[in-house]
């Protein structure tokens, strides 16, 4: 039986993402974005749902909104009725949250996962939502994304708030929560963190996981 729900991983490749983030130097930023992307792939794979990735190599459009809507419609054209759209910059995204969103979306209601900056880390929409809602007017890439989507997707379900990672300070602020998820970055966080701050990090931070830094994330459909 064909799945009716798919996941769209929308964003940039790890290398391109590193050019827009601030996790230290070029090498540090690439290491963080690659780690975030690998973890996102692992979380998505555990749902058992079909996963499609749309990064800068296949996106079409001049603006973020145009590129997102093109990728959404292209995925729906594959025959799915529901779609969970996520990025790779939210370490708090979990398989459980995705499964909850899948169940809620199956009832016909949209699903929003708000982040701490006024955006969303997850957008759950159906084919009907896209056909019947003008999402082109959403102020994408601003602190108004969540409220704009709420105004247009009336009655949608709201998931718990999760923080995203765009700067080194985000890793520092949320490291107590994220260290178990991104342990392979522990040595980087400690090296780039002032000594008084590093002294207060949890002891498990010191358990650095080995990782193949040069490997690309796994390919998906």
Higher pLDDT, 212 or 114: 114
Residue 220 has pLDDT above 50, yes or no: no
Can you give the pLDDT at residue 202? 54
- Cα–Cα distances (Å) from 124 to 84, 85, 90, 104, in that order, read 4, 6, 16, 9
Q: What is the per-residue pLDDT across 155-203, written as a single tens digit (0 to 9) for each? A: 889 999 999 999 989 988 888 889 888 888 888 888 876 643 444 555 4
Higher pLDDT, 178 or 213: 178
Domains and CATH numbers, the chain: 5-158 (3.90.550.10)
State the Cα–Cα distance between residues 140 and 145, nearest whole angstrom: 6
| Closest by Cα among 183, 69, 153, 167 to 116 | 167
State the Cα–Cα distance between residues 178 and 159, nearest whole angstrom: 19
Would you list the DSSP string of 138-172? S-TTSTTHHHHHHHHSTT-EEPPPB----BHHHHH
Confidence of residue 117 (pLDDT cuts 50, 70, 90): very high
Q: What is the mean pLDDT of residues 203-212?
A: 42
pTM of the model: 0.84
- From 48-62, 123-137, 173-187, 203-217, the region with the lowest mean pLDDT: 203-217
Can you give the pLDDT at residue 114? 97
Can you give the pLDDT at residue 188? 85
Can you give the pLDDT at residue 201? 52
Residue 35 has pLDDT above 70, yes or no: yes
3-state helix, strand, coil in the chain (%, to 5): 45, 15, 45
**Nearest 5°: phi and psi at 188?**
-65, -45
Can you give the pLDDT at residue 221? 46
- Per the document, the length of the chain is 221
- In this structure, are residues 171 and 35 in contact, taking their beta carbons and an 8 Å threshold? no
């Amino acid at each position: 039986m064909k799945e009716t729900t798919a996941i769209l991983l929308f964003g940039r490749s790890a290398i391109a993402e590193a050019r827009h983030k601030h996790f230290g130097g070029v090498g540090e930023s690439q290491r963080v974005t690659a780690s975030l992307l690998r973890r996102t792939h692992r979380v998505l794979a555990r749902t058992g749902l079909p996963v499609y990735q749309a990064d800068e190599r296949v996106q079409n459009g001049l603006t973020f909104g145009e590129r997102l809507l093109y990728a959404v419609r292209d995925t729906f054209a594959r025959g799915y009725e529901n779609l969970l759209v996520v990025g790779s910059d939210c370490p708090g995204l979990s398989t459980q949250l995705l499964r909850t969103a899948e169940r809620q979306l199956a009832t016909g209601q949209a699903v929003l996962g708000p982040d701490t900056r006024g955006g969303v880390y997850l957008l759950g929409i159906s084919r009907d939502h896209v056909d019947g809602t003008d999402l082109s007017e959403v102020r994408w890439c601003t602190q108004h994304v969540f409220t704009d989507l709420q105004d247009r997707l009336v009655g949608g379900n709201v998931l718990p708030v999760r923080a995203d990672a765009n700067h080194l300070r985000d890793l520092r602020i949320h490291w107590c929560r994220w260290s178990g998820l991104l342990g392979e970055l522990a040595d980087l966080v400690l090296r780039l963190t002032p000594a008084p701050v590093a002294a207060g990090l949890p002891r498990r931070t010191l358990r650095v996981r080995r990782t193949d830094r040069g490997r690309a994330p796994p390919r998906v459909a």
